[in-house]
């Protein structure tokens, strides 16, 4: 069964727009778990425009499922992750001023850099995942870093899905098969939604985890958080 990790960054974005503590990020994390989420994902950025570093520290004690922290591994991020010791850290090469993640790692160029960081986290007992594009060579080099998993960057799939679903998913199936042959665990995330998640999962049924935030939280505004999480879970179960 593919796990659903709910990214709660958007809830923090709404809170930060007005200051104060409404909506409450900790309550959101607790409720997501109660409503069926298999994990909670946060992506703290240096400017703390949504999830703050203090949020990450506060969330850790209330996680009863899995905790995934994702982000660009600058010194502050590395120190935070080593302090919190989440179940998983997902390394993402986003620039400090990026609106959202928009590309995977060049694991060929940054192989040595990533190998050192992956080793640091694995020595601390933290499962590692690298955010990558669906490129076979990139995934082959990702395996050489010692990472446990890769997370496929799925925005290109989501963008092309409505026009040609077969063509959209094809490079991701090839990338997923490469990861499996190399012994890498497989995650996926970015712009997966109720419209395209089921088809993606049907074509790559050995996915271990999907991380979904923007679409899920947006759907929850209309459908309710509990109902929305269960709807996403059904996309992964085939029901």
- At residue 98, the pLDDT reads 55
Q: Which two tokens stand for residue 15?
A: 């809170």
Q: CB neighbours of 15 closer than 8 A, spacing ≥ 6?
A: 21, 22, 23, 24, 25
How does pLDDT run across 113-161, given as a tens digit for each residue? 999 999 999 999 999 999 999 999 999 999 999 999 999 999 999 999 9
Q: Which residue has the tokens 């974005």?
A: 13
Q: Is the peptide bond before 175 cis (omega within 30 degrees of 0)?
A: no
How would CATH label the architecture of 3-237?
Alpha-Beta Barrel (3.20)
First to last CA, the chain: 12
Q: 151, 190, 201, 209: which is the annotated catalytic residue?
A: 190
Domain boundaries, the chain: 3-237
Q: 66, 70, 151, 209: which is the annotated catalytic residue?
A: 70
Q: Tell me whether residue 43 is one of the annotated catalytic residues.
A: yes
Q: Specify the pTM.
A: 0.94
- At residue 94, the pLDDT reads 79
Q: CB neighbours of 66 closer than 8 A, spacing ≥ 6?
A: 3, 5, 38, 39, 40, 87, 88
- At residue 230, the pLDDT reads 98
- Facing residues of 69 across strands? 42, 89
Q: 43, 66, 151, 201: which is the annotated catalytic residue?
A: 43
């Amino acid at each position: 069964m593919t796990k659903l990790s709910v990214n709660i960054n958007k809830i923090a974005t709404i809170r930060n727009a007005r200051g104060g503590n409404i909506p409450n990020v900790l309550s959101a994390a607790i409720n997501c778990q109660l409503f069926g989420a298999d994990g909670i994902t946060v992506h703290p950025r240096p400017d703390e425009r949504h999830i703050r570093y203090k949020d990450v520290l506060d969330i850790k004690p209330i996680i009863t499922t899995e905790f995934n922290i994702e982000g660009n591994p600058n010194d502050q991020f590395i120190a935070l992750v080593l302090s919190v010791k989440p179940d998983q850290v997902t390394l993402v090469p986003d620039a400090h001023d990026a609106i959202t993640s928009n590309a995977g790692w060049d694991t060929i160029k940054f192989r040595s850099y990533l190998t050192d960081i992956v080793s640091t986290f694995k020595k601390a007992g933290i499962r590692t995942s690298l955010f990558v594009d669906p490129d076979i060579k990139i995934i082959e080099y990702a395996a050489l870093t010692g990472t446990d998993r890769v997370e496929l960057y799925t925005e290109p799939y989501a963008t092309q899905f409505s026009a040609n679903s077969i063509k959209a998913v094809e490079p991701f199936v090839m990338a997923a098969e490469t990861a499996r042959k190399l012994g890498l665990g497989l995650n996926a995330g970015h712009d997966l939604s109720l419209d395209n998640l089921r088809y993606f999962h049907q074509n790559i049924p050995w996915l271990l985890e999907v991380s979904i935030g923007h679409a899920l939280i947006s759907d929850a505004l209309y459908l309710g958080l509990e109902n929305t999480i269960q709807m996403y879970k059904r996309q992964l179960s085939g029901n």
